[in-house]
Amino acid sequence: MKKAVFIDRDGTITHDIGYVHKIEDFRLLPNAVEALRLLKDFKIFIVTNQSGIGKGFFKLKYFFEYNKKVLTELKKHKIKIQKTYYCPHKPEDNCECRKPKTKFLKDAEKEYGIDLKKSYVIGDKKADVELGRNASCKSILVLTGNGKKTRKEIKPDFIAKGLLEAAKWIVKNDKTQ
């Protein structure tokens, strides 16, 4: 069984200006590349809620274009994202794929042979931390994006200033190396 890191995209890897979907708005957060490189011994997945699609703020094709830009930029730095899981639904749709529900992590568990108990979830929202807890992963809240607002709402396994500090904590505390 393999270990993985499931990472929220907007506000954790990239800047989040709200319903991000335009390529011209793409910007990696500082140290994102360095952080992802540190996680080389893990399968890395992006797990993102994209309710802007369901709310009609932007079309699915714009999500794919923007996400392709993210993946292409990371690939230039020799960072491989195994897969991007995305939920296009509104919160009120009560779908099975919206974080903090565990559908995507269970899918990765089956498809990639992931051991969720040896895996981590990193994000800037309460739903990210709850996703980790719900899937028996360790959860890390980053204080980028919405993290500072979220800090008082939830108790993750670790609170990091950003993705780099989160990655360093994982490497230091990972017992399966």
Domains belonging to the chain, first-starting first, are 7-173 (3.40.50.1000)
Percentage of the chain lying above the pLDDT 70 cut: 99
- Look up tokens 């028996």; give the residue: 136
Binned at pLDDT 50, 70 and 90, residue 68 comes out as very high
pLDDT digits (tens, 9 = 90+) for 46-58: 999 999 999 999 9
Cα angle, residue 62 at apex, residues 59 and 67 outer, rounded to 5°: 135
CA–CA separation, 173 and 72 (whole Å) = 30
pLDDT at 1: 80
pLDDT at 176: 60
- Is the pLDDT at 74 greater than 80? The verdict is yes
Catalytic residues: 8, 10
Q: Which residue has the higher pLDDT, 170 or 150?
A: 170
* Arithmetic mean of pLDDT, 154-168: 97
